[in-house]
Every structure is written in structure tokens, then in C-alpha cells.
Amino acid sequence: MSHGEIGHGSAGFSLIELAIVVVIVSIIGAIATTRYQSAAARASESATRSDIATLERAIEHYAQEHGGAYPTPGSIKAQLTEYSDFEGQTSLNKTSRFRFGPYMRKVPQLQLGTEKGSRTIATAAGAGVGWIYDAAAGRIDPNLEGVSNGEITDMVNRGILPKRLMP
């Protein structure tokens, strides 16, 4: 039997052939992993853009029903997710007094940075803070600690983040 024929005495694949297959599979795996990570990052960025818009719509809706007053920093989470009266006091139950809201079911989780997963709203960045609220302007931004200035600039330029967050 000649070297290239398959038959009873064939020993299978040579070590070189197996090594080539392993290298090819490794390259394909690396390409797939890179594409998956890139798609996951884009999904997080898109979710962040959507979450900012959802929070800002809820804040504006609250202000419309409360004589132009924005939620207060210490009570914003309850004021957006529970029923409220005209003065901004909150209740889990709808009554004739607590007839406004809720404006959202829950505060969305932060999708970026070192505080990823946090639903906490505060007036300044810090440990455990997901969202930074400016009560005077009725504006809310993601806590971008742990996100590089280059990444932030890129996301602003692509319309993911508002221009006010440009470093």
C-alpha cells in the first residue's frame, strides 16, 4: 500500500496534521471570542443609552405631574417607582391622595464601569452608585467610574452617551 492510501494498515493522522487542525480551531475560536466580546460591549452601550432615556422620561413625567418640581435626591428612587402625592410623599398603594406614578417599575441596572449592576441613585459618584442625579436640572447620568476617557469619548461621538459627559 502506498503512503497516501487509506486502508487496513493506515495509522490515522500524523502529528503534523493534528497540530495544523488544532491551530486552525484555535484561530477560529479567538476570532469568535473577540466578536462575541465586541457584541456584548455594544449591547451594554445600547442598553445604557436606552436606560438614560427611560430615566429622563420618568423624571420629566414626574415633574409634569408635580408642578414642575423634579424628584428630590434623597427620595428619587421611591418617587419614580411608587405612587406619590403632589408634594412628593410616596406610598406603595394607590389612593386618592397618592394618585401620581409610578413612572417606572424599577431603576435600571448600570451596564458600564466598576459599578456595573448597581441601581442606586445619588448626587455624586461613589462606591455602589449606579446613577448620578442632578436635581436642579432634572438630569441623570451613568456613573462612569472605571470607564476610560477614550471609551467615554468614543461613546459620546457615537451618540451612546450625551455630549455633556465628554471628558
Mean pLDDT calculated for residue range 69-90 = 97
Position 1 confidence tier, pLDDT thresholds 50, 70, 90: very low
Mean pLDDT calculated for residue range 7-36 = 78
Domain assignment present for 131: yes
Domain assignment present for 69: yes
Check pLDDT > 80 for residue 37.
Answer: no
In the predicted model, what is the mean pLDDT of the chain?
Answer: 88
Highest mean pLDDT among 10-24, 30-44, 114-128, 151-165: 114-128
Domain assignment present for 117: yes
Check pLDDT > 60 for residue 14.
Answer: yes
Mean pLDDT calculated for residue range 85-99 = 96
Mean pLDDT calculated for residue range 75-82 = 97
What is the DSSP secondary-structure string of 120-160? Answer: -EESS--TT--EEEETTTTEEEE--TTS-HHHHHHHHHTTS
Domain assignment present for 104: yes
Domain assignment present for 3: no
b or e along 101-127 (b: 16 or more beta carbons within 10 Å of the residue's beta carbon)?
A: bbbbeebbebbbbebeebeebbeebee
Provide the strand spans (E) within the chain: 83-84, 90-91, 121-122, 131-134, 139-142
Domain assignment present for 10: no
Domain assignment present for 6: no
Domain that holds residue 34: 15-165
Check pLDDT > 60 for residue 102.
Answer: yes
Domain assignment present for 98: yes
Q: How many domains does the chain have?
A: 1
Check pLDDT > 80 for residue 73.
Answer: yes
Position 62 confidence tier, pLDDT thresholds 50, 70, 90: very high
